[in-house]
Amino acid sequence: MKQQQIENWTCEDSADLYGIRNWGAGYFNLNDSGEITVEVTNTAGTTHSVSLMDIAHGANARGLGMPLLVRFENLLEAQVARINNSFRSAIESCGYRNKFRGVFPIKVNQQCQVIEEIAKVGRQFGHGLEAGSKAELIAALSILDNTEALIVCNGYKDEEFINLGLQAQRLGVQVFFVVETPSEVDTIIRCAEREQVEPNIGVRVKLASKVGGYWNATSGDRSIFGLGSNDLIAMVDKLRDHNMLHCLKLLHYHLGSQVPNIRDIRTGVLEACRYYADLVEEGAAMGFLDLGGGLAVDYDGSKTNYTHSKNYSLDEYCVDVVEAIMGTMDSEGVEHPVIITESGRATVAYSSVLLFNILDTTSFEPIELEDDQIGEDAHPMLKYLQHALKNVALKNLQESYNDALYYRDEIRALYLHGQVSLRDRALAENLFLQCAQKIRKLLDEVEEIPMDLQALPEVLSDIYYANMSVFQSLPDIWAIDQLFPLAPVHRLDEAPTRSAIIADITCDCDGKIDRFIDRQDVRKTLPLHALKDGEEYILGAFLVGAYQETLGDLHNLFGDTNVVSVHIEEDGHVNYSREIHGDSIADVLSYVEYSPQDLFERFRKLAESAVKSGRITAQQRKEILHTYTASMSGYTYFEK
């Protein structure tokens, strides 16, 4: 970055650099102080802007330090309302003759306070839940106190699962059992006949339609879920034989968790509608069409059909879905079904932000050498390397780099064979860095950068060490190369003068973030600010509300982070509605079958043995055991 750019830098430059308004969906912005804010509009239409730094300071004052997961209840409420209102608008404008009923898949974010909030705000819309296991069904039945809402049961179901749902039907709960495998039909029939309860049966079909994105394995012939056409016919015949075909009311399919291309969505809907119309023709009652998930989140803000983006708006999605269903049903003379979607990712992604501080950095800046540090008696390779440095110019960038690399590697080989000293090697490494940095700065003036030099900015980028675990808090980055928006949450009125990758505090080379969002491509580094002495530098990972908390693991025994739920009131006041302290060391040890009390007793015996042998005094033993117990109850992350 040129000096003039640095001096003239504004918050608008930062907003553009990090794409905040592109991926923020109107929920995130910047204030004049250079801090990222969350934007919430109250019932009177007034928008309140709250700084994430203020929220972080407030949490810290309440004993919740970094890393900190912030859940914004307002954003969760807003997304539930947006999805329902968009479908209502599409239904009204298209003249669709039925309604929309959303269900939230519990697996996307299973945290109790999230599910409770969705159930509360969704009540006015009849917004329900999707359960894929007995545990999720029990949670749904306990939290969803609304007989207008649906509970859709997907996944593999044993008799206990089905019996629980049938008993809930006696209470007036609208439970649907979606058949995933042929064998489930027999189980449902057997349980229903025994309990004398007519089940609401659905069926998941395998669509031939394939989509783009990471999660396309749930579509196509090789999907591990759902019935093909032959199994579907067999199911219809079996239900007819048991006089239960009228119980078949719902058709379900699922193209994938994040479908970036609207054309794929329309294609899937049209194919599903053909199945639906034919099931009506077969004599099934039907009435509900469950489109599954797929409503994408624009993680990079590019508004394209790239994996981490989407080329459509929410309103466009709703209109296209309604029009596609309406067109097919009208042409077949079939009544319009209730439209169901399981848009979990789009519901919760925006509502969670992970805040974490930077502990330290490693830079690849060379040390300035005195002219006489390489004397006449220096090894010839060092002299050649110094000569290569002095001769770097625009006309010979590739040649200079080749020479510097060769002489540096020769010094390394000589060191390996004991022919040069450690100080010689350090000099060589430093001279090479000087040469590489000099070349990198000159690349800004080159129209066509040689291929060998294109990666130089990444090779010379800093490493910023973050107080968090990628495996615990952002597991999809490690597992599937998911991109999340990352940015400093303050100092955005200053130009970021460093380029860096981010390393976490696990002892694992995979514990890093080296791919970042960009509207044109994927960035290999993230522009960041130089650290200031005595001042904490805080970054945010945004749009992390879907899947990350449950999928996170205990690598290196780093546990759950601190969590705070905030609700921004009508007057703009920040209400810290819920606080959850992160796992202590004792907590995570117990998760992997250690008994903290047993560990303490073993350590106590070790300390007592040291007293007996005279290595420490009884008073020192007391202090040592106090340190041990204090650590046991402490946070698993770096504490100040």
Burial 114-137, CB ≥16 within 10 A → b, else e: bbebbbbbbeebbbbbbbbbbebb
Q: What is the pLDDT of residues 237-253, one digit of tens each?
A: 999 999 999 999 999 99
CA dist., res. 587 & res. 560, Å (int): 10
* pLDDT score of 370: 72
**Cβ neighbours of 140 (radius 10 Å):** 26
At residue 371, the pLDDT reads 66
CB of 603 closer than 8 Å to CB of 630: no
Higher pLDDT, 375 or 482: 482
Per-residue pLDDT at 343: 98
- In this predicted structure, the answer to whether residue 23 has a pLDDT above a threshold of 80 is yes
- Predicted pLDDT at 224: 77
Q: Please identify which residue in the block is written with the tokens 């783009």.
A: 212
pLDDT of residue 210: 75
Tell me the two tokens of residue 323. 């029009």
Q: What is the pLDDT of residue 57?
A: 98
Architecture of domain 371-457: Up-down Bundle (1.20)
Phi first, then psi, for residue 86 (nearest 5°) are -65, -40
Q: How far apart are CA 524 and CA 501, in angstroms?
A: 8
Segment 272-297, tens digit of pLDDT: 999 999 999 999 999 999 999 999 99
Whole-number pLDDT of residue 487: 99
- Which residues on neighbouring strands pair with residue 517, listed in sequence order? none
H/E element, 113: helix 112-122
Can you tell me the distance from the alpha carbon of 158 to that of 183, in angstroms, rounded to the nearest whole number? 10
Quickly state the pLDDT bin for 110 (edges 50, 70, 90).
very high
455: number of Cβ within 10 Å: 11
CA dist 499 → 222, 429, 516 (Å): 43, 21, 12
Question: Which CATH superfamily, name and number, covers 97-349?
Answer: Alanine racemase (3.20.20.10)
Q: Strand pairing of 462-466 and 352-362?
A: antiparallel
Return phi, psi of residue 564, to 5°. -135, 135
pLDDT reported for residue 373: 73
CB 486 within 8 A of CB 541: yes
- What integer is the mean pLDDT of 355-384? 89
| Rounded CA separation 272/254 (Å) | 10
81 DSSP β-pair partners: none
Taking the C-alpha atoms of residue 201 and residue 288, their distance in angstroms, rounded to an integer, is 10
Give the Cα separation of 329 and 289 in Å (integer): 11
CB 356 within 8 A of CB 467: yes
pLDDT at 466: 99
Identity of residue 621: R
Residue 3: pLDDT band (50, 70, 90) is confident
CA atoms of 18 and 36, how far apart (whole Å) = 11
Say what the pLDDT of residue 270 is: 98
Q: Distance from CA of residue 52 to its chain's centroid?
A: 19
Tokens of 496: 């970021």
Lowest mean pLDDT among 152-166, 197-211, 571-585: 197-211
Residue type, 319: V
For residue range 66-88, list pLDDT tens digits in order: 999 999 999 999 999 999 999 99
Q: Strand pairing of 68-72 and 352-362?
A: antiparallel
Query: Residue 527: is its pLDDT beyond 80?
Result: yes
> 187-238 pLDDT, tens per residue?
999 999 999 999 999 999 999 987 766 655 556 666 778 999 999 999 999 9
Residues in the chain, total: 640
Average pLDDT over residues 316-320: 98
Residue 372 has pLDDT above 70, yes or no: no
Per-residue pLDDT at 464: 99
For residues 374 and 124, the model is more confident at 124
Measure Cα distances from 410 to 161, 375, 376, 474, 516 in Å: 68, 19, 19, 41, 35
Each domain of the chain, given as residue ranges in start order, spans 3-63, 97-349, 371-457, 597-632
Spatial CA neighbour of 201 closest among 211, 210, 191: 191
Q: Are 264 and 255 in contact (CB under 8 A)?
A: yes
Distance CA 478, CA 471 (A): 7
Average pLDDT over residues 304-309: 94
Of 18, 67, 566, 564, residue with least CA distance to 355: 67
**Which residues are 15's β-sheet partners?**
none
Query: What pLDDT is stored for residue 272 in this prediction?
Result: 98
Tokens matching residue 430 = 């430093």
Q: What percent of the chain has pLDDT over 90?
A: 93
Rounded to an integer, what distance in angstroms lies between the CA atom of residue 30 and that of residue 53? Answer: 11
Average pLDDT, the chain: 96
Residue that is written with structure tokens 């329309």 in the block: 266
φ, ψ dihedrals at 538, nearest 5°: -115, 130
Do 295 and 87 form a contact (C-beta atoms < 8 A)? no
Tokens 């060998």 belong to: 452
